[in-house]
Amino acid sequence: MTSVIHDIGYRHYDGKRLGRAYAVRSLFTHNLRAAYGLGRPVKAKIMPFLLCAIMLMPAAISVAVTAIAAQVGAGRDVQLIRYSAYAVYLQPLIAIFLAAQAPVIASRDLRFHVTPLYFSRPLSRLDYVLAKYGAFTTALFILLATPVTILYIGALVTKQKHIGTHTVHWLAAVAGCLLFALVLAGLGLVVAAFTPRRGFGVTAVMAVYLLSTTAVAAVQGIAENQTQFTVAQWAGMFAPFNLVDGVQVWALRAKQSAPEPPPSGIGGPVFTLLCAALIVGCVAILYLRFRKAGAK
Amino acid sequence: MNPVIASITFRAMLSKRRILLLFLLPALLLMLSIGLRASGHADLDNATMLLTQFGLGALLPLLALLAGTGVIGPEIDDGQIMYIMTKPIARPVISTTKYVVSVVLVVAFGVVPMFVAGVIMTGMTAGLATGFALGALVAGVAYCALFLAIAVLSRFAVTIGLIYALVWENLIARYAPGAKTLSIRQWGISVADMVTNATAVKADVASSTAVPLLIVVTVAGVAYAGWKLRTLSVTGTD
């Protein structure tokens, strides 16, 4: 009996062991709350809730304008913002939320070298990464899907025509929001996990989004000037929002919201495959990053 | 100016991961401009598009954000600024030194690459490269001053700076053109427009408005940072 050597007479814990599932669940809720600054000082809540409020504003205004227009009888001409276009139109705000909150999830444990404390629990590395990824994806999904749902409720309340089509489009848009959340959360967490220093992670995540998006926009603009439309369409897959919008267009039958649709033919499947590869790749990189994180 | 503070700040800014990003940003611009040149599409219109959209619209604000907040933000966060502030050096000297460092970084990694990219694409035609280099310089100087002031003011400097650069200068300016009057990017384009005679460069703000505003923002930003640093309270980090 080896345990005897260490038994110096303290009382043993003989309560219930909550186990791995409980640890994963706790980590998930903790990180989901942390993404919105809940359970932290007021200062940490300002940014996420401010961005959330700004995200909701266009949807609320759109519903209000439609409702007023319906009252004065101009309802034919005024339409709600398209559900699947919402994330693409407001992408700067979503990107700021992503950049501001990804380091909160991914960098803090690294910065303060506390990962060994997590891994001394019945929690595997993969559990840890998946719990964080899931939590951040959920946080982003809440940010994206809430305004879209407000628009849909607005459509119901103002008694829009073709409510069946509205429902289908809304469901497709919510699926699109989930895809946006999955891709963006993956990218954000990977970049933030490699830049643990405070403030720097925010800039790094932003750099990845802003540079890819503006570079693609510039290439697309130039390619269109030269009437090379296929080049312009293929270029879309190098920017996250254009990529996911391409998948929305192909897989979810949405109208295109990014400047260019995916190329016809194999374009849609390629965009979708790339999306899937991106999500899996991000989880794999995060796993590798956190596998040795406790070493230093 | 204090050479010791300057050298410490430089060393902190050029640490291994930061420098990767600092090189990556202009490298992308140069790659795109070489690609344009190689594929034979490097006319004045396309060069202007690339330099305005990518150069002034993304590269410069990002670099200035990285440099302007990076020179002082992390030190305030982890409390290291105390070791400098307890030395007999006037606080405005500290902030001004850090400001100069950030401007030097923006010039080295932003303005010079913009000029080189301009030359690669159009040579010296119509003074496009010179115009954009000058526009980028004045915009970079103003951005750095603004972001330094925000960095001293708030712990969320990077996010606030991003909201200004992205939401105000991009999103709101697109739908409400009046917002362009208070946009450093537009002031930079205005200065570029003054220098170059390429018709592709179109400024939305008159240079008689842009130049005074640039000076006001720069002076006010640096002065505010120096003044605020005198009464800085270092609170806990997260």
C-alpha count within 13 angstroms, C-beta hemisphere, residue A265: 4
pLDDT per residue over B6-16, tens digit each? 999 999 888 87
- pLDDT of A198 above 80: no
Percent of chain A having pLDDT more than 70? 95
Whether residue B51 lies within 8 A of chain A, CB to CB, comes out as: no
- pLDDT of B65 above 80: yes
- Residue B80 is predicted with a pLDDT of 84
Asked if residue B235 belongs to a domain, the reply is no
**Distance between CA atoms of A19 and A121, rounded to whole angstroms?**
9
Report residue A294's pLDDT band, with 50, 70 and 90 as the boundaries: low
Percent of chain A having pLDDT more than 90? 53
Contact A226 B41 (CB under 8 A): yes
pLDDT per residue over B171-208, tens digit each? 888 788 888 888 999 999 999 988 888 777 888 888 88
Reported ipTM: the value is: 0.83
- pLDDT of A4 above 70: no
Asked if residue B209 belongs to a domain, the reply is yes
- Average pLDDT (A140-160) is 92
Chains A and B form CB pairs within 8 A to the count of 108
Whether residue B14 lies within 8 A of chain A, CB to CB, comes out as: no
Contact A44 B238 (CB under 8 A): yes
- Residue A111 is predicted with a pLDDT of 86
Spans of all domains in chain A: 20-295
Number of neighbouring beta carbons within 10 Å of residue A132: 25
Helix extents (H) in B39-127: 44-49, 60-70, 73-77, 81-85, 91-106, 112-122
- Pair A35, A101: CB distance under 8 Å: yes
Contact A199 B238 (CB under 8 A): no
Contact A206 B78 (CB under 8 A): no
Neighbouring residues of B238: CB distance < 8 A, sequence distance ≥ 6: A40, A44, A108, A198
**How many domains are there within chain B?**
1
C-alpha count within 13 angstroms, C-beta hemisphere, residue B211: 9
- pLDDT of B237 above 50: no
- Residue A143 is predicted with a pLDDT of 96
Q: What is the mean pLDDT of chain B?
A: 88
Asked if residue B162 belongs to a domain, the reply is yes
Asked if residue B101 belongs to a domain, the reply is yes
Asked if residue B187 belongs to a domain, the reply is yes
pLDDT per residue over A88-135, tens digit each? 999 999 999 999 999 999 988 888 888 888 888 888 999 999 999 999
Asked if residue B163 belongs to a domain, the reply is yes
- Residue A150 is predicted with a pLDDT of 94
- Residue B235 is predicted with a pLDDT of 60
Residues spanned by the domain of B178: 3-229
